[in-house]
Amino acid sequence: MAGGLTVARLADVIERRTQARLAARIIGDGARTIEGAAPIESAQSNQLAFLANRRYRTAAAATHAGAIVLSPGDRQQIFSEPPAGVTLIECAAPYAWFAFAAQELAPAPLPRAGIDAAASVDAAARIDPAAHVGPHATIEADAQVGARAQIGAGSFVGRGAQIGADARIMPGVHVHAQCVVGARCIVHSGAVIGADGFGFAPFEGAWVKIPQTGRVVIGDDVEIGANTTIDRGAMGDTVIEDGCKLDNQVQVAHNCRIGAHTVIAGCVGIAGSASIGRGCQLGGAAMIAGHLSIADGCVIGGGTLVARSITTPGHYSGVFPLMPHRDWERNAALVRHLDELRDRIRALERQLDKKGSS
């Protein structure tokens, strides 16, 4: 933001945006002007840094940042009083406060409303006058583009698709027919929303395509990473609920449902008809088998294969070395009984100890 914002102004804006759920206490000069955000080790006097990991306490004590946001506990451990030239911002959730502040300091540019002369827009499409359609974008008949939405250069919005207000469709995105992208969503370049799901029926050694007639329905405030693919439903819809965040190169197959505010890291693959709960976290390259469900609030470690439903919230992980399948099955059976085997070994050791002492 040109000219920056004072620390006091940032705190006021964030408190109002979060309806006082993210209030902060300013220790030091609230009139200090902040022009940007930077890592704690390299931040300068006109920049904001944050401390959310105790490993960086030493760096925080020596920072040259103009302001630093941190928890009350970290503040008490590091600073008995504000260091010269540094304003402290004490907050219960410093990382979140920093994220809101960074948004205020570097707002996304708003392109000029209107349709570029090089775009191809069907006469039956409904484009809000406040929306922006970039060069070489294509919008087919009966598609809807909401107020202040942005359709980037070379993007495609298919027949009857809906793009919500304030959504940002980056250059080179494909949103296929009848699919829905909610308000304030961000869809990054190369993403494909609504390609056919992988549906084929075997017949006499060949495969017969099953028409994929469902949609992809994406809620509000969702972010879809670059080159991520979300397949349309075979008959019903594939659904991504409000507030989900999907990283780059994620594959979501047909008829999946991803619960609200779930985050999914890069290269995760989710097979057809899987249901992921609300508030879950899926680590990079995790593989989720089809036709299963994962409970709300689960954390799945990177590289983990989820082959059956998870009904209890918790942190799950597992990476097994590559081996011939027959050996893997045998070893997996042993792993399931490790607790049992441990108890038997301990019992045998106790028996041997008794014999040795008699």
Active site residues: 254
Beta partners for residue 263, in sequence order: 245, 281
Place of tokens 């983990």: 304
CB 67 within 8 A of CB 34: yes
- For the CA atoms of 36, 40, 42, 43, the dihedral, rounded to the nearest 10 degrees, stands at 30
Looking only at Cα atoms, what is the longest distance across the chain?
Answer: 96
- Alpha-carbon distance of 282 to 254, in angstroms, equals 18
- In sequence order, the 6+-apart residues with CB closer than 8 A to the CB of 144 are 125, 126, 127, 161, 162, 163
Instruction: Name which of 248, 246, 251 is nearest 227 in CA terms.
Output: 248
CB 174 within 8 A of CB 156: yes
CB 266 within 8 A of CB 249: yes
Give, in order, the Cα–Cα distances in Å from 288 to each of 217, 261, 273.
20, 18, 10
- Alpha-carbon distance of 264 to 245, in angstroms, equals 6
